[in-house]
Structure 1
Amino acid sequence: MASRSSTITLYSREACVHSHRVRLVMAEKGVANYDIVELREDEESEDLLQLNPYNTVPTLVDRELVVYDPRIILEYIDERYPHPPLMPVDPVLRAQYRLAIFRMESDLYALCDDLESTPAVARKARERMTELLTTLATDFSARKYIGEEFSLVDCTLAPILWRLDHYQVKLPERRAKQLSSYARRLFKRPAFAESLTGIEADMGQIDAS
């Protein structure tokens, strides 16, 4: 995705769960005019190292601004492209949404590397992921999304749910149905399909049974 007139460049990896949620927010915002530099899993980039002292993805470059924390990137995109808004105006709700995102990062995203590790490490991480998502599923109500409207919270959870089959995470049947109903709504959004790389498209999705 590139354009001569684009001012934004996103450094990303095709299977990176953090990169996925940034691409998802860009798609939800209708941002088409930006460049993506896709790095292989084992590829080092001198350009990225000069921009980001941690040499991590995702890294967003917008003119002279360089942002390399995923959550800060999401909030920057939401504010730079204000329509449609993906965070509430009310400061109390905004704080609650930020806490929800923080917990997803601390609890769910923190397990992703272990899920791709050795069989013993991955098994332990799957058990913990199953426990966390089973608890989360009990909180789902008849609302269409986690909050009153689609938000950065949903954009943060969606890439995790999309990878459950890939991670071999299986929820108890009743909880899987509660969560898969919500997941299908996310996956049917046009922006979600647009956000997927080729590798991610082959990962499958949450069991809808």
Structure 2
Amino acid sequence: MVQSARSRTVLTLYTAAEDIQCHRVRLVLAAKGVSYERLVIDPNKPPEDLVDLNPYGTTPTLVDRDLTLYDTAVVCEYLDERYPHPPLMPIDPLSRARLRLAAVRIELDWLAEIDAIVEGGRPADAARKRLRQHLLSSLPLFKASKFFLNPEMSLTDCLVAPVIWRLPWLGVDLGREGKPILDYGERIFHSQGFARSMTAEEKAMRS
């Protein structure tokens, strides 16, 4: 169980050990300092209690009393509103929309390539090259602010940082050109929240 003095409300999170979307939610919870029960499951063999809660049997699934949420973006936004301090989205609608759209692009472009890499086989090498290009073409976004498109950490960083953490494990080398992206990652990786967000399997990705 992950605990914090800032919140005594016990949530339950069904999570996979290595999944980026699950890591995304765990990072939001860690940034908020929220206590929760972490149930690490095999996503290929979801337990019956999860299937009863979530008809798709997918992770991440968050249970808060009588409420069950299982879309990652919905879960993250719920947590940001349910536990408003520190806020993980800017106040103005324009900035919020930009960050939401960036998260959608990352899911469609970056995560699709990561799935192909994890599956292995011939398509993996081409996916590594495409992911590297996606990241390097985003360099201006990493240079624009201390965090991704925002001066403060946001929900979008909770998606971006787990991707950057996995790059060595995925066999993606950004080289010198990618130094601003790696520097961005290191700023987040050294936080206590990021360390708390990880499973043993994720920590081993950089052991």
Matches within 5 A, 1:147-186: 147-174=150-177, 176-186=178-188
Structure 2 residue 128 is the aligned partner of structure 1 residue 87? no
1:31 equivalenced with 2:29 (yes/no):
no
2:23 is matched with which residue?
A: 20
Q: In the TM superposition, what is the alpha-carbon distance from 1:131 to its structure 2 partner? A: 0.9
1:85-124 matches, within 5 Å, as 85-124=87-126
Write the deviation string for residues 18-54 of structure 1: whole angstroms up to 9, x where unpaired.
111111110000002x211110354321111111121
Q: CA separation in 2, counterparts of 1:41 and 1:97?
A: 28
> Deviation string for 1:63-97 (max 9, x for gaps)?
11111111111100000000000001111111111
What is the rounded CA distance, in whole Å, between the counterparts of 1:91 and 1:6 in structure 2? 30
Q: Percent identity?
A: 43
Deviation at 1:133, TM superposition (A): 0.4
Cα-to-partner distance string for 1:148-195 (whole Å, 9 max, x where unaligned): 211111111000000000000112422x21211111101111100111
Instruction: Please give the alpha-carbon distance, in whole angstroms, between the structure 2 residues aligned to 1:136 and 1:79.
Output: 28
Q: TM-score, normalised by structure 1?
A: 0.90
Asked whether the equivalents of residues 114 and 131 of structure 2 are also in contact (C-alpha less than 8 Å), the reply is no
The equivalences for 1:60-75 within 5 A come to 60-75=62-77
CA–CA distance in 2 between the matches of 1:204 and 1:53? 34
CA contact (8 A) 2:20 2:159 kept: no
Would the aligned equivalents of 1:25 and 1:155 in 2 still touch at CA under 8 Å? yes
Return the alpha-carbon distance in structure 1 between the equivalents of residues 23 and 9 of structure 2. Answer: 20
Q: In structure 1, list runs of 5 or more residues that go unmatched.
A: none
1:6–1:35 Cα contact (<8 Å) kept: no
Alpha-carbon spacing, 1:89–1:140, altered in 2? closer, same or farther (3 Å): same
Q: Is the 8 A contact 1:60 1:73 kept in 2?
A: yes
Please say which of residues 148-157 and 115-124 is displaced more in the overlay: 115-124
Specify the SS of the correspondent of 1:83: coil
Q: CA RMSD in A?
A: 1.7
Distance 2:113 2:70 in 1: 20
Where does structure 2 lack aligned partners over 5 or more consecutive residues?
A: none
SS in 2 for 1:200: helix
